[in-house]
Structure 1
Amino acid sequence: MKSTNNLVRIIAALLFGSLLFAQASAQGDQSLRGKLEQAIEIASQNTLQIVSLNQTALPNIFEVELNTGEILYSDISGDYLFAGDMYATTPTGLMNMSASTRQKRALDKIALIPEEEMIIFSPEEVKATITVFTDVDCTYCRALHGDLEDLMAYGIEVRYLAYPRGGEAAASYDKMISVWCADDRKESLSLAKGGEDLPPVTCETPILEHYQLGNELGISGTPALVFSDGRVIPGYLDSERLASMLSLN
């Protein structure tokens, strides 16, 4: 997952570009989004873009979603940006509003992926579903796949999306194309994760779209698990712990 260091790097880039930001602000009447886009793109040397800009529950404070999955906040003038989670006080304690936003965003984006683009392993009775961003060469992805029998016994449906670490440059990229183009994708995925070489096959695949989606959700490693409530969990969990987190035992 995207680390705190990555967020610090982003903020540092924005601070480093503060002079340019001031210059951009002086160029005339701009919309809030336009002002922020110009400043962020200049400060990050065009590596960061705004995906969405939304009003928060806090008056005059806007949520700024970046293409890397991070969320920043801006005042209504666009003169100030800050990072960190936003909390709301409730009678029962604190509610992490930023986490709620991230979870809803994950669910909304994954809902746009047709199930026929996924490789799905289903138990006889589905009690819970996880969506897994996977790489066939990833050691812990292979460990998770090795737990499929136990996961099926718990009633956990596993829906795989492709996430070749490094995108098209990944050593696993061509292997994953062969998996997604196979007549029996489930069997091919199991073979590839078992270390077997697959015959090269090419076709139109959604692999890069899955990879981009993972990036937009802040994913940078595999496996990455998305629960049905939108939580994104990085790394391998054994079947017993996973079932516990899904309230199945």
Structure 2
Amino acid sequence: MLQRYRAAAFAGFALAAVCAATFTASAVAQNKSDATLDRVKSAVQTKLGDDAPVKSVARTPIPGLFEVSVGGEIMYADEKAQYVILGGNLIDTKTRRNLTEARQSELNRIDFAKLPLDRSFKYVKGNGSRKIAVFSDPNCPYCKRFEATLKSSKIDNVTVYTFLYPVLGPDSDAKSKAIWCAPDRLKVWHDWMIGEKTPPTPAASCDDKPVKDNFALGHQLNITGTPTIVLSDGRRLPGAVPAEELEKALATLK
């Protein structure tokens, strides 16, 4: 159902994109107890159907326009859900801040402390003081590019927890099992991702359940692409971000 709405274009977005405003703490507090939001949620859910569960609804700086979180995406709707805006960004023209992007980042935060790090393998550079987790597919070319970025001299003092997340088909499953079952997972991972050295065939008795569990976890966290980088404060960085962008993000960690 959501795909059908995504295909439509809405002229009202142009208006939304040029309205200058910011979210405030009082508005967020009001969202928690505002019965109007329940009505909006119900109206949108009725329009979308049960295959696209509405996670949350919040007010925007624009009177009568509501933010709706659906399946990791943000859309906008009027109170009766007669009109929706999907696939667009709400921009503060004064600060040039992308309010949609900021809210989506906040809604998609991951509790780093709850990640099952025992289902990952660790790579430490320097003192390892800055921590990130990466959901990665062994056949993903962007994941290979990101591994090269991590190896570069521009990134230091970082601990990387890699979660094998085979989303690109049966060969990704096989390679993930081979890497997970290797005596030295990190070495075999780097040999393959950077050196193109095929992982050794795993023992038939090897249990790759942790990899399967990671696949389920990724879906639960709405991780739709690889690599997905998770900073220790819960923020996500999608894709093979350049070294400069990664370092900038790492520098903001407390």
Verify same fold: TM over 0.5.
Answer: yes
2:239 corresponds, among 234, 238, 242, to 234
Distance 1:96 1:13, change over 3 A: closer
Which of 3, 6, 11 is 2:6 aligned to? 11
**3-state SS of paired residue (1:243):** helix
Instruction: Write the distance in 1 (CA, Å) between the matches of 2:42 and 2:79.
Output: 12
Partner residue of 1:76 out of 75, 79, 103: 79
Q: CA 1:139/1:180 → structure 2, altered by over 3 Å: closer, same or farther?
A: same
The letter of the residue matching 2:119 is E
CA RMSD of the aligned region, Å? 3.6
**Is the 2:121–2:161 Cα contact (8 Å) retained in structure 1?**
yes
Distance (whole Å) between structure 2 residues aligned to residue 231 and residue 122 of structure 1: 20
Contact kept in structure 2, 1:126 and 1:155, CA below 8 Å: yes
1:180 shift after superposition: 3.6
Which residue does the alignment assign to 1:35? 43
| SS of the residue 1:196 aligns to | coil
Shift of 1:74: 1.5
Asked if 1 retains the 8 angstrom alpha-carbon contact of 2:179 and 2:188, the reply is yes
2:18 is matched with none
Rounded to whole Å, the distance in 1 between the matches of 2:150 and 2:237 is 19
Q: Give TM-score, length-normalised by structure 1.
A: 0.66
**Unpaired stretches in structure 2, ≥5 consecutive residues:** 11-37
Structure 1: stretches of 5+ with no match in the other structure: 1-6, 16-29
1:82-121 alignment to 2 at 5 Å?
Answer: 82-83=85-86, 84-88=88-92, 93-108=95-110, 112-121=114-123
Aligned to 1:225: 229
Q: CA deviation at 1:64?
A: 1.9
Distance 2:8 2:215 in 1: 27
Identity %: 22
Q: Normalising to structure 2: TM-score of the pair?
A: 0.65
Contact 1:135 1:223 in 2 (8 A): yes
For 1:183 and 1:50, the matched residues in 2 are separated by 42
